[in-house]
Structure 1
Amino acid sequence: MPSQYLFLVNSRPTTCDNKTWEKWYKEEHLPDLVNHKASTRAAFYREVFDVPDLYASNKAKNRRNYLAVYQTDFKDLLRSEEYKAIRTSSEILPGKTILENGEFDARNYELIHDFDPNSFGDTPAPYILYAELEPEDEKDLDIFYREEHFPLLAKVPGYRKGIRYRLGPETGMTVGKPTTFVALHELEKSHQMKDSKEMRAVTSTPWTLKTMSGVSFSSVRSYELVHSVGY
């Protein structure tokens, strides 16, 4: 089962190329957080552009196309002594503090639902579909996910599991006003949430049409795994 809390960071480099940015995350940053016990498990993803740009955040110029996913025991990770112990400069990035090398948008979340019908457990997903959403009725949305949406998604070939989180304490690195909920759908391949007979069955039910008419999505994006630590 995932840790009780999640720390998500969207980022992009501003002083180096993507290859160097990925090297820093893989060789320094993810290991730092896990080794200092700020994070129990950490995974780093790059965006794959197979989701239509229907959302404002997806269309932003110089969008943050990397996503770091940190499972943690801390409700507010940045305030923990474990996080404060990690390095603030890098041997890989240019000679500045880490925060001066990129743009970051960080959020705290708390676990509300782990749907794992095939017992994948805590293994890093090859791909994830990430959705930020705001419902008109939180209770109805929760029932919908538990009783219909996740069970139908489990029938889509290559669908691994789904995890839902509620927004936690604001961080000093949070950009804008995030939606209350985020859903992470774990997949074997990036295209498996695209149109298929199984996905049409998921998206066309009366309950789906009724529920989704009252949900606002601020972002829906797809990512592929670059590296993971602690799994």
Structure 2
Amino acid sequence: MGGVDKPATGQHPGILFVNSKITKPDELSPEDYTKWYEKVHIPDIFKTSGIKEASRWQTVDPKSERPYLALYPLEDLTFLETDEFKAIPVHDDSLPGSHAIFDFADFDTRYYKFVQHYEAEGTKSGQPDFVIAAGFTPADEEDYDNWYRQEHLMEISGITGWRKTQRYALTFARQNRKPAGEKQLAEPPKFLTLHFFDGSSLPEKELAGAGESEWTKKQLGSMKETQMAIFKKLSQYTK
């Protein structure tokens, strides 16, 4: 298929990445969680001035600890530091007990700034069918960036169904809204790559083949930290 490296101009300068799980499934069902997320939470988010797009995804791995992913492209990363963003409601009468979502679900929230956008010529709009979320903390950041730009993206772009790839660098991470000093999740990988694919399934053999070069083996073998997850589309919203 092939792809082209798009300049930062016209791209969203950041993304809000929220990976979540239900912690009390006996009190909050997946159906009620989805209803809260899509009928209450996203509309509340869209009432703010800083977020105009949202997409929801679910892992393809039934054993995944955090099955749900929400992605929010950001036009201004500083919006995440505002009182407006921090005031997005986390209580709703539709939720059981305390009506506080943090009592029934756990959120791994990360803020990322834009690094690179690589896409197929004539990329279509709309939500892709799958996203591979790859988090890395490389041993050599310069070599890691060169590997992506000079080899890996060209390999990925030749795989059946590939639509686009977006790369980001971590700026902040927090679990729920815990105060500073409270025990948080371990620091996530420094860099995030989102590979978007179309199709009824992912071409597993082709994806495996993209990891066979010596440069790729060197990079993956030397990573200080790696996180990998595959998600399928659930829903997409635009303000």
1:175 to 2:185 alignment: yes
Distance in 1 (CA, whole Å) between partners of 2:113 and 2:84 is 19
1:11 to 2:16 alignment: no
Distance 1:151 1:78, change over 3 A: same
Which range moved further: 119-128 or 178-187? 119-128
Q: Structure 2 counterpart of 1:103, which letter?
A: D
Aligned pairs for 1:1-231 within 5 A: 2-13=11-22, 14=24, 15-49=27-61, 63-75=65-77, 78-95=80-97, 96-120=99-123, 123-171=126-174, 173=176, 175-189=185-199, 191-196=201-206, 199-200=208-209, 202-230=210-238
Contact kept in structure 2, 1:130 and 1:183, CA below 8 Å: yes
Identity of aligned residues (%): 24
Which range moved further: 219-228 or 183-192? 183-192
Distance 1:140 1:195, change over 3 A: same
Q: Which runs of 5+ in 1 are unaligned?
A: none
Distance in 1 (CA, whole Å) between partners of 2:101 and 2:37 is 11
Distance 1:125 1:81, change over 3 A: farther
1:78 deviates by: 4.4
Q: Give the TM-score normalised by structure 1.
A: 0.84
Q: Structure 2 counterpart of 1:192, which letter?
A: L
1:75 deviates by: 2.6
Matched residue count: 219
Distance in 1 (CA, whole Å) between partners of 2:58 and 2:157 is 24
Distance in 2 (CA, whole Å) between partners of 1:99 and 1:158 is 37
Q: Structure 2 counterpart of 1:64, which letter?
A: R
